[in-house]
Amino acid sequence: MRIYACCVLFTSGCWYFIFLIPTFGYRGVFALIWLLVEQLQYGISVHPWFKRLLKLEYSTALNIEHEDERFHSFYVIAIGEFVYSINAESPLSVGWNDRLSKGISLLINAVLFMALYSHKDGSRKATHALRNSPTTSMVYIYSHFFVIGALLIVGDAGADLSKIHVNYLEPEEYGVLFYYHVGIFVALCALTVIAAMDLDRTDPGFHQVSKFWRIGFRVPIGALIFGLTWGLKDKSIKETMWIDTMLLFVLFGYEFIVMNPWRYYFGHNRLVEL
């Protein structure tokens, strides 16, 4: 941690030079480079390889429960963007109308994303990604960057779509729908990766399908929603958003069915402790 603290002090001081760069493009490149450097030094500091390299008896350790709760809290904050974006400026009129209908679909999406995150891979017994291996730990941590960023984009773009008074998008407004759909796609991909990092230790035969088939439809559904950006140009904004919600609900329903061991609930092998 001392080496990591010194590196953070150095990189934090270097952020000052971004104000001396005249163009925004070069500022973006500078910020990206230093962001990668900061994350690289973090990964090296907590990796067991670094401990072996320095021949340390003790090194930095991650508290798995604390880290898991921290990322869970960040995810909940990202989900809150759905609610905040709709209610902060009160863009939805009183009474049932197209804008209210779009806002409701957005809130349903927030609930579904929360459920998909809580599902993970549906394992009854598993080794957490942070405990599984250093590789799965890093993938688990940095996948949250993508899913949280994607959900912030979905919530913000969805609120902008809900505010639009007309039924159909103008050509210059398709960028909002593009960000909305690509955010959903990236979020579902990241949720798939996060769920895949846990090591499934559930007894064989407990689930009717394997782990791959339990979480494997998230990416195809996300790709389908992303493709609707161009495939539903003749549909209204409300219809497009509700089609997205329907596809997410179908995904949620499928995972709810395959992740629950129904034959143990209703069959002769009924579990005593569920």
Give the pLDDT score at 218.
Answer: 94
| Burial environment of residue 92 by CB neighbours within 10 A (0 to 12, 13 to 18, 19 or more) | buried
Q: What is the mean pLDDT of residues 150-172?
A: 81
Q: pLDDT band for position 271 (50/70/90)?
A: very low
How far apart CA 220 and CA 210 sit, in angstroms, is: 17
Which range (75-84, 131-140, 170-179) has the least confidence?
A: 170-179
By percentage, how much of the chain surpasses pLDDT 70? 81
Give the pLDDT score at 33.
Answer: 86
Give the pLDDT score at 273.
Answer: 41
Give the pLDDT score at 272.
Answer: 38
Which range (86-95, 111-120, 168-177) has the least confidence?
A: 86-95
Q: pLDDT band for position 172 (50/70/90)?
A: low
Predicted TM-score of the model (pTM): 0.82
25-41: per-residue pLDDT in tens?
Answer: 888 888 888 888 877 87
DSSP state of 219: H
CA 196 vs. chain centroid, Å, equals: 13
What is the residue extent of each domain of the chain? 2-54, 64-262
CB 195 within 8 A of CB 215: yes
Q: What is the mean pLDDT of residues 264-273?
A: 51
Region 64-262: CATH code: 1.20.1410
Give the pLDDT score at 223.
Answer: 95
30 contacts: CB under 8 Å, gap ≥ 6: 17, 18, 21
Q: pLDDT band for position 189 (50/70/90)?
A: very high
In the predicted model, what is the mean pLDDT of the chain? Answer: 82
CB 134 within 8 A of CB 47: yes
Q: 3-state DSSP call for residue 127?
A: strand
92 token code pair: 């939805």
Q: pLDDT band for position 186 (50/70/90)?
A: very high
Segment of 79-88, 143-152, 205-214 carrying the highest mean pLDDT? 143-152
Q: Is pLDDT above 70 for 93? A: no
Q: pLDDT band for position 254 (50/70/90)?
A: very high
Q: What is the mean pLDDT of residues 5-26?
A: 79
CB 207 within 8 A of CB 261: yes
202-253: per-residue pLDDT in tens?
Answer: 888 788 888 889 999 999 999 999 998 887 677 788 888 999 999 999 999 9
Give the pLDDT score at 131.
Answer: 84
- HEC-encoded secondary structure of 54-77: HCCCCCCCCCHHHHHHHHHHHHHH
How far apart CA 234 and CA 232 sit, in angstroms, is: 5
Q: Is pLDDT above 50 for 274? A: no
Give the pLDDT score at 60.
Answer: 62
CB 91 within 8 A of CB 100: no
